[in-house]
């Protein structure tokens, strides 16, 4: 799989020499193993916040609405390239780029929902999934044709320099993403469990037919849920691209894999689980990069996913939901 992230800017510098490829060197004269472990754990949580932002949108669509939308990542990519176009062609400021990215992702998400889910009957889950995969290919091909170069510049998220807290180096841009991930989790939990719209979303998720008999407009709820998930994806796409200051056509593929892995680690249907799953994925990848080398980063991520699927298929916080579905299948 191609990598969207060319340089994750770890706290140490990369040096040549013996040991794993790209193994980092610590700042300062001497750092203890424990300090390195803590530093890498903090870095993993900060980096994992971008996975958490992607996983929240996947959780809303896959875990709560029970829709297999494989084109969610490419929809975010289209929004990111909309902002990139304005920045590269017209030198637009960060606010215009952010708004364009958000609107582009929302419009792409609505396009997918209208074409793959609204136009296909409720029970045809496989047809919806396959059609969303076809739209994924369509959006990726469209982006490649319009933006033929491999990489494009993106305005930076912040110009603040990394700072140190108790001997631990923290990047300001990752801290901003961490704050957004937690804030979106809190806001989305409030919407789902404290508003009438959230009640309607959960009713449609549990039993669409019963929700329709109770007067819930299932089509409208699904449309709004897709728009909300796409808006969250637009925020995630802008923050990730602004942090890296570049975008490539591989962003959609990268976002799809990382977001889905984080969602499954946290537990499908659990918004807090999506946050924790992203943090866990980031920590595992960071430690794998430090101790084994960067070439083992993705191997460690997929190995972690395999272990969860075998030992804890419900994820960190979705085990109760998985057990309930298993018992429901037994009753049937």
Q: How many separate domains does the chain show?
A: 1
* Structure tokens belonging to residue 96: 């215009």
Does 4 reside within a domain?
no
In a domain, 287, yes or no: yes
Whether 2 is covered by a domain: the verdict is no
Please give the average per-residue pLDDT across 53-64, as a whole number: 85
Question: Using an 8 Å Cβ cutoff, are 168 and 277 in contact?
Answer: no
* 298 part of a folded domain: yes
**Residue 306 Cα to chain centre, angstroms:** 19
Evaluate if residue 15 carries a pLDDT over 70.
Answer: no
Show the tokens assigned to 322.
């998985």
Residue 177 maps to a domain:
yes
Q: Residue 266's domain spans which residues? A: 13-25+39-331
**Is the pTM of the predicted complex or chain greater than 0.85?**
no
Residue 172 belongs to a domain? yes
Q: How confident is the model at residue 190 (pLDDT cuts 50, 70, 90)?
A: very high
pLDDT for res 124: 67
Instruction: Render 204-260 in DSSP notation, one character per residue.
Output: HHH-HHHHHHTT--HHHHHHHHHHHHHHHHHHHHHHHHHHHTEE-TTHHHHHHHHHH
8 part of a folded domain: no
Cβ burial of 34 (10 Å; 0-12, 13-18, 19+) is exposed
Rounded to whole angstroms, how far apart are CA atoms 311 and 265?
Answer: 11
CATH code, 296: 1.10.3470
In a domain, 31, yes or no: no
């Amino acid at each position: 799989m191609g990598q969207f992230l060319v340089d994750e800017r770890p706290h140490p510098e990369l040096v040549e020499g013996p040991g794993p490829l790209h193994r980092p060197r610590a700042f300062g004269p001497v750092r203890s193993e424990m300090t390195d472990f803590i530093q890498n754990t903090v870095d993993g949580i900060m980096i994992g916040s971008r996975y958490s932002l992607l996983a929240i949108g996947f959780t809303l669509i896959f875990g709560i609405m029970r829709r297999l939308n494989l084109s969610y990542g490419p929809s975010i990519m289209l929004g990111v390239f909309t902002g990139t176009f304005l920045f590269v062609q017209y030198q637009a400021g960060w606010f215009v780029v952010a708004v364009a990215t958000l609107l582009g992702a929302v419009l792409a998400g609505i396009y997918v929902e209208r074409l793959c889910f609204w136009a296909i009957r409720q029970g045809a889950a496989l047809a919806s999934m396959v059609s969303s995969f076809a739209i994924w290919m369509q959006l990726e091909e469209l982006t490649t044709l319009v933006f033929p170069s491999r990489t494009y510049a993106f305005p930076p998220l912040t110009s603040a320099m990394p700072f140190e807290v108790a001997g631990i180096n923290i990047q300001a841009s990752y801290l901003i993403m961490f704050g957004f991930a937690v804030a979106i989790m809190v806001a989305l939990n409030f919407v789902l469990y404290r508003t009438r719209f959230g009640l309607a979303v959960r009713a449609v998720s549990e039993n669409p037919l019963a929700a329709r008999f109770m007067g819930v407009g299932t089509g409208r709820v699904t449309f709004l849920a897709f728009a909300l998930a796409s808006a969250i994806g637009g925020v995630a796409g802008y923050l990730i691209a602004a942090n890296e200051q570049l975008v490539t056509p591989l962003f959609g593929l990268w976002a799809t894999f990382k977001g889905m892995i984080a969602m499954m680690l946290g537990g499908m249907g659990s918004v807090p689980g999506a946050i924790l799953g992203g943090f866990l994925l980031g920590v595992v990848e960071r430690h794998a990069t430090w101790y084994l080398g960067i070439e083992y980063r993705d191997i460690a991520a997929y190995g972690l996913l395999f272990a969860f699927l075998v030992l804890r298929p419900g994820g960190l916080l979705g085990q109760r939901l998985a057990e309930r579905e298993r018992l429901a299948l037994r009753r049937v």
